[in-house]
Copies of this chain bind each other. A is one copy, B any other.
Amino acid sequence: MTRKVVRRPARYALRPVGVIKSTLKSRRNAPRQGSEGAPDAWLEVRPSASAGLHRLQPGDEIIVITWFHHARRDVLQVRPRSDPRNPITGVFATRSPDRPNPLGLHPVVVRAIDGNRLHIGPIEAIDGTPVVDIKPVLR
C-alpha cells in the first residue's frame, strides 16, 4: 500500500530588523514612489541587528526592503495606480503594495548614520513601516 504524502505549503517567519520613522503618516497621502516627491526619513535598526550595519557609510546607495503592514494580501489583480483608465493587471506586473507577500523595495541614499539610525531618502514608506532587510545596490 502506498501512502499519499500531502505537503503543506512552507511558511517563513519574517522578523523586522527595524522601522521607518517618517513625517508621512498615512498611506493615502504618501507618494507612490520615492522619486515622486517623497521625503527623507529615519530607519531605526533594532539594537539586536545593528551589528549588520558595520561599514555602511553616508553616500551609500542601498535597497531598503519593507513589509507593507497595511496592505491587502488577498489581492491578485489591480488597476495600476488605482486609476480606472488603467487595465486590470496582475499584481506581479505592478508595484501595488497589495499582493500576497507585501514586500516593498525602496532604493535610497544613506544621508547620515547616527548609531543604529540611518537617515535615508527619498522614501515613500509611511511612519511605522517595518523594515525586514537592507542591501547595497550593486554596480
Please give the residue numbers on chain A whose beta carbons come within 8 Å of chain B beta carbons, in ascending order: 9-17, 33, 45-46, 49, 51-56, 60, 62-63, 65, 67, 69, 76-77, 87-95, 99-101, 103, 105, 130, 132-136, 138
Docked pose: A91 CA to B46 CA in angstroms: 14
Query: Interface SS of chain A: helix, strand, loop or mixed?
Result: mixed
Other-chain residue from B60, B91, B130 in contact with A52 (beta carbon distance below 8 A): B91
Chain B residues near A14 (CB, 8 Å)?
A: 11-14, 101
Contact flag A90-B53 (CB < 8 Å), given A9-B16, A15-B101: yes
Tally of this chain's copies = 2
Docked pose: A67 CA to B53 CA in angstroms: 21
Across the interface, do A90 and B136 meet the contact criterion of CB distance under 8 Å?
no
Offer 26 A-B interface pairs, CB within 8 angstroms, sorted by A: A10-B16, A11-B14, A11-B15, A12-B13, A12-B67, A12-B130, A13-B13, A15-B101, A17-B100, A17-B101, A51-B77, A52-B76, A52-B92, A52-B93, A53-B90, A54-B77, A54-B90, A55-B89, A55-B90, A56-B90, A92-B134, A94-B135, A94-B136, A99-B133, A101-B133, A103-B103
